[in-house]
Structure 1
Amino acid sequence: MPHTVADICAAVERLWPMSGAEGWDAPGLLSGDPAAPVGSIHLAVDVVVEVADEAVTAGANLLLAHHPLLLRGVTTVAEDRYKGAVLARLIRGDCALIAAHTNADVVETGTSAVLASRLGLVDALPIVAGETPTRGIGRVGRLAEPTTLGRLARLLGEILPATASGIRVSGEYDQTVETIALCGGAGDSLLGEAAVLASDVYITSDLRHHPASESRENAGVAGGPALIDVSHWASEWLWLDIAAEELRAALPGIRITVSDVRTDPWDFTIVQ
């Protein structure tokens, strides 16, 4: 019997249980017939038109994305709008759509855990624990050997795919860092967490002016972490290969591919 969309949903639930999702999130099956057969799954961070076309052209029967296409309410799926155009392409191409978002962030092999592993963090645990001590939001751990903030930023540049926005750093290039807190994706909501405040550096994405400025000033007065801001897409892209490996083990016989499309929204930067 061939695998169906419902079978893929069950495998996704085993790997990234919906119970781990934040209350505001919208993961799960977003479009497609649960009874439809699936022989190929395509993975991506974002559901954009180019990714939908890539999945359909590749013959995928299901697109598994990290970011939910319908996270916020919509009032139309007309094809003169981006979300309607994407859904129409997928539906016409017999390609279902599933999202694994915060439920895939919090597991032991989730987005932040993968980045922590690539950096070589030792004894990494969640910044905020979830259902178990090893599951939760973000990760904090230490390097086997101390380094400098500048060298750490350069290492991130080697690990992460290149983007126009690059890697932004708040702190002295030569300052020593050993304890690292990080959160794949947007993480300025964690700036006040005790584990972050006790770290030498906090790595995340989408740091806004006021939270970043306040964190920097507080660090100067009372101590606190240096900051490294990286591309949201890049920080989560590393997870796709791990997710693909887990799906291959859970669903033998299904072809699993990973998108080559860089969905970071920025095209170039003018350095002043």
Structure 2
Amino acid sequence: MGYKIGELISRLESFAPPSYQESYDNATLITGDRSTVLTGVLCSLDCTEAVVEEAISLGANLIVAHHPIVFRGLKSFTGKNYVERTVIKAIKNDIAIFAIHTNLDHVSNGVNKRISDRLGLVNTKILQPKKQILSKLEFFVPPSGKDKVLKAIHTAGAGKIGEYSECSFQTKGTGSFTPSQNANPAIGEKGKAESLEEIKIEVLVPNHQIGKILGELKTNHPYEEVAYYLTNIENENQEVGAGMIGELSEPLEETDFLDYMKKKMELQVIKHTTLLKKKIKKVAVCGGAGIFLLPDAKRAHADIFITSDVKYHEFFDAENRLILCDIGHYESEIFTKELLGELLSQNFPNIALYLTKVVTNPTSYR
């Protein structure tokens, strides 16, 4: 029995959790059934009619695309535009379409890391870390049960801060309780007040893993009822967010770097602001439309900011503090299909896996 489509989706969603996507996004299974047995998967930047036709010809019944073919609700399916025609063709031919968009942009090993790697950047980090995706978990445990509980919740994903794992803060105190006649206390007697030494443990937990972590806490805790507090916090998650910044191993002259980038990113055209007559060392990137990160690139003292979809007046906002480059939306993200292919091949080595040969770039140059 082969893999089911849902198994591949679950792996992709564990790499780039859906909760990391922006509110306007639609990173999800758009057509198809998770319980369907997989016959093959086609990775692409966009999902168009031509890509669906390619999947049909390859015998692949799952398309994993970066860009969702459907952003907003469709009120009719008459084939009046390319979105409706693509969805109709996919449904008629039992092709599942799965989109993994801004959630893949926001993970530290996602779209922007792929760009950074192609440019040879080192010491990379998220340019604009995401807020409100972490919570603080506080709970109480007797000393005899502490190690077992901590091991379980750390394994489930609690207590990670940047490059540090198994982080917690512990304070000793006295816990008190009175079990009811219907209780089954691990410590103490029914109807009798009890007080004992307990340890209060505080850890950070990613919001998308709260259910799993609480499950492990309750399963491994010695008490029948576990007392805990869960509080959403404003802290930035340094491993999740928009854009990326890194450094070249050796500084390059501006024109040399532009030529280097053109080769590495396989570009035909680069739009950029005035050169500043200084070497390039610190490089900020954002695949797709990333002009909203220009203030962050400035604050990080980037020498150059590489993105796409920059409007005419937005180029002025660089204010000669850095070079602002627009390399094209398609060009900035086309290598995402390789990222998806590698991720799937590492986890599902025996599936029929393809990278689209269809050029979905709606823009041409001459």
**Aligned to 1:187, which of 290, 295, 320?**
290
Is the contact made by 2:111 and 2:287 (CA closer than 8 Å) also made in structure 1?
Answer: yes
Distance 1:197 1:133, change over 3 A: closer
Unaligned ranges ≥5, structure 1: none
Deviates more, 1:189-198 or 1:235-244: 189-198
Instruction: For residues 34-77 of structure 1, give each alpha carbon's deviation from its aligned partner in whole angstroms, at most 9, with x where no partner exists.
Output: 22111211011111121121122111110000001111333322
Is the contact made by 1:197 and 1:225 (CA closer than 8 Å) also made in structure 2?
Answer: no
Q: Corresponding residue for 1:100? A: 100
CA distance in 2, matches of 1:56, 1:155: 38
Deviates more, 1:200-209 or 1:106-115: 106-115
CA distance in 1, matches of 2:351, 2:284: 36
Question: 1:143 is aligned with what amino acid?
Answer: L
1:206 Cα deviation after fit: 0.6
**Aligned to 1:135, which of 236, 240, 257?**
240
Number of equivalences: 261
Question: 1:213 is aligned with what amino acid?
Answer: F
Report percent identity of matched pairs. Answer: 28
Question: 2:254 is aligned with what amino acid?
Answer: L
Is the contact made by 1:64 and 1:99 (CA closer than 8 Å) also made in structure 2?
Answer: yes
Q: Corresponding residue for 2:193? A: none
Is the contact made by 2:276 and 2:322 (CA closer than 8 Å) also made in structure 1?
Answer: no
Is the contact made by 2:287 and 2:307 (CA closer than 8 Å) also made in structure 1?
Answer: yes
Distance 1:268 1:4, change over 3 A: same
Q: What RMSD over aligned residues (CA atoms) do the two structures have, in Å?
A: 1.7
1:147 correspondence with 2:235: no
Unaligned ranges ≥5, structure 2: 134-236
Alignment of 1:33-72 (within 5 A): 33-72=33-72
CA distance in 2, matches of 1:134, 1:161: 28
Q: Corresponding residue for 1:15? A: 15
Instruction: For residues 226-267 of structure 1, give each alpha carbon's deviation from its aligned partner in whole angstroms, at most 9, with x where no partner exists.
Output: 111111111111122122111112223211111122222112
Distance 1:202 1:102, change over 3 A: same
CA distance in 2, matches of 1:123, 1:77: 48
Is the contact made by 2:42 and 2:354 (CA closer than 8 Å) also made in structure 1?
Answer: yes
Distance 1:51 1:196, change over 3 A: farther
Is the contact made by 1:126 and 1:133 (CA closer than 8 Å) also made in structure 2?
Answer: yes
1:177 correspondence with 2:280: yes
Question: 1:239 is aligned with what amino acid?
Answer: T
Deviates more, 1:22-31 or 1:8-17: 8-17
Is the contact made by 2:271 and 2:325 (CA closer than 8 Å) also made in structure 1?
Answer: yes
Which stretches of structure 1, 4 residues or longer, exceed 6 Å deviation after superposition? Answer: none
Question: 1:136 is aligned with what amino acid?
Answer: G
Alignment of 1:1-272 (within 5 A): 1-130=1-130, 132-163=237-268, 166-172=269-275, 175-193=278-296, 198-215=301-318, 218-219=319-320, 224-269=321-366
**Structure with larger Rg:** 2
